[in-house]
Amino acid sequence: MSSSGFAPRVGPGALAVIFTSQRTAGDDGYAQTAEEMVRLAAQQDGFLGAESARGADGFGLTVSYWRDEAAIRAWREHGDHLAAQAAGKARWYRAYRARICRVEREYGSEG
Amino acid sequence: MSSSGFAPRVGPGALAVIFTSQRTAGDDGYAQTAEEMVRLAAQQDGFLGAESARGADGFGLTVSYWRDEAAIRAWREHGDHLAAQAAGKARWYRAYRARICRVEREYGSEG
């Protein structure tokens, strides 16, 4: 995932994890871990792509796409990711919300 | 929708429209129209909420939530929105992608 990059077509039936968060003030190790998690997620079986943006106000959205529930579960339970999730809850996110959705269709400027 | 605001719980079965875009350079009337569209969308029957973020690089995500396909269709075909979509394609977006997904579950820091 690049912060300026589109995810590829994922196809109907893929799962989208919409993760919305409001950051606390200051970096506090967040940027480095976020980069590591992006790199690590992309190596997981069943990862299809991700898109992410965060505004100057600290409010951000990341959508990651996965082949199936098993892939989402494996990533959620990955050791390094568990540690990052714990730090996120404790320090980096003032609030967050996650929604798991199934892709029905997609289209874009490239057709 | 506020740029620093979470959408409320939408419930399983709601539809999410994930709109990802890379802005062209310059404002060119974009900010005002975007604000108007947010206000107008919130008045539509079947609108459940929205969340949005755009980074300094011009890459942004907006997720809007809708009760059903009819609500999405009515909003897509709304006259003012059609005009905004045309301007978006012609001037404001270098590229965009839309994915329509069905919410399966949701959770967050508020439980």
Average pLDDT (B74-98) is: 96
How far is CA A40 from each of CA A31, A33, A37, A43, B41, rounded to the nearest angstrom? 14, 10, 5, 5, 37
Distance from CA of B74 to the nearest CA of A (A): 17
Dist. CA B65–CA A108, nearest whole Å: 19
Whether ipTM > 0.90 holds is: yes
B109 is written with which tokens?
């820091």
Q: Residue B1: pLDDT band by 50, 70, 90 thresholds?
A: very low
Indicate yes or no: CB of B109 within 8 angstroms of CB of A97.
yes
Contacts of A104 in chain B (CB under 8 A): 15, 100-102
Span B82-110, mean pLDDT? Answer: 96
**Separation of alpha carbons A46 and A49, rounded Å:** 9
Asked whether the beta carbons of B17 and B72 are under 8 A apart, the reply is: yes
DSSP letters, A49-65, are: EEEEEE-TTSEEEEEEE
